[in-house]
């Protein structure tokens, strides 16, 4: 009996540890755990970027795709969420169905470094600085001039190819633009 109880206890400990690990150590990026941006910050970000129904709003590393979903539902934009983690992608898929925004939403379960993002007019990122810097060459190569980039929490390193247009320190939102030169 004691042996069975110890085994059950160990099983529960291992199971809980795996859940904790999954939250802080997602498959592709050990640097990008599933922290989620709050809805207030999402709305402020989209307002700061002046998102309209003509925009295509990408979230690179979209988690449950709360950003593109709000962009689609409240701002009438087209939303694209790219997420590498299967469970987060599935969560997003379910949310889109519940939210009835699927006609304006595209969800991709893939590595955003391999995605074509050239039709974006607005790109949202909530990624740690190391990943932001790694992402820069792709942004410069694929995005059109004038595309707005919203970074939540973390700033990009200063760069002449990326113009810091506005910042909302209180909400930790940084709005950039691919300059027109
Ligand atoms: C800090 S979370 C932000 C989630 C969401 N954007 C939000 O603000 O609520 C970063 C997300 O990026 C995802 N991610 C990290 N590297 C990725 C990659 N190369 N391709 C796709 N998703 C990635 C992680 O799995 C994680 O869900």
pTM (2 d.p.): 0.87
Predicted local distance difference test score (pLDDT) of residue 18? 73
Q: How many H helices and E strands in the chain?
A: 5, 7
b or e along 32-44 (b: 16 or more beta carbons within 10 Å of the residue's beta carbon)? bebeebeeebbbb
Q: Tell me the CA–centroid distance for residue 136 and ligand 1, in Å.
A: 16
DSSP annotation string for 26-72? -SS-TT-------HHHHHHHHHHTT--TT-EEEEES-TTTHHHHHHH
pLDDT in tens, 118-128: 999 999 999 98
Q: Tell me the CA–centroid distance for residue 32 and ligand 1, in Å.
A: 6
Domains along the chain with CATH numbers:
39-177 (3.40.50.150)
State the closest ligand 1 atom to the C-alpha of 88, by its place in the atom list counted from 1: 27
Q: Give the angle subtended at the CA of 121 by the CAs of 65 and 80, to the nearest 5°.
A: 25
pLDDT in tens, 87-123: 899 999 999 999 888 899 999 999 999 999 999 999 9
Residue 150: HSE in the Cβ half-sphere, 13 Å Cα cutoff? 29
**What is the band of 177 on the pLDDT scale with cuts at 50, 70, 90?**
very high
Torsion sign, CA atoms 99, 103, 108, 114:
negative
Predicted local distance difference test score (pLDDT) of residue 130? 86
State the closest ligand 1 atom to the C-alpha of 115, by its place in the atom list counted from 1: 20
Is 113 in contact with 139 (CB distance < 8 Å)?
A: no
113 lines ligand 1 (CB under 6 A): yes
Q: Tell me the CA–centroid distance for residue 130 and ligand 1, in Å.
A: 13
pLDDT in tens, 23-75: 666 545 545 567 899 999 999 999 999 999 999 999 999 999 999 999 999 99
Q: Tell me the CA–centroid distance for residue 123 and ligand 1, in Å.
A: 13
State the closest ligand 1 atom to the C-alpha of 62, by its place in the atom list counted from 1: 6
């Amino acid at each position: 009996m004691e042996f069975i109880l110890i085994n059950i206890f160990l099983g529960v400990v291992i199971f809980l540890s795996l859940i904790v690990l999954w939250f802080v150590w997602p498959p592709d990026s050990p640097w990008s755990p599933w922290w989620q941006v709050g809805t207030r910050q999402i709305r402020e970000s989209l307002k700061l970027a002046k998102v309209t129904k003509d925009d295509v709003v990408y979230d690179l590393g979209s988690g449950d795709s709360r950003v593109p979903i709000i962009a689609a539902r409240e701002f009438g934009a087209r939303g694209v969420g790219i997420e590498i983690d299967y469970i987060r992608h599935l969560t997003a898929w379910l949310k889109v169905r519940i939210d009835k925004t699927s006609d304006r939403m595209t969800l991709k379960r893939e590595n955003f470094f391999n995605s074509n993002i050239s039709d974006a007019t607005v790109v949202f990122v909530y990624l740690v600085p190391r990943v932001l810097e790694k992402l820069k060459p792709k942004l410069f190569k694929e995005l059109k001039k004038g595309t707005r980039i919203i970074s939540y929490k973390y700033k990009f390193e200063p760069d002449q190819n990326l113009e810091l247009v506005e910042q909302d320190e209180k909400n930790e939102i940084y709005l950039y633009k691919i300059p027109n030169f």
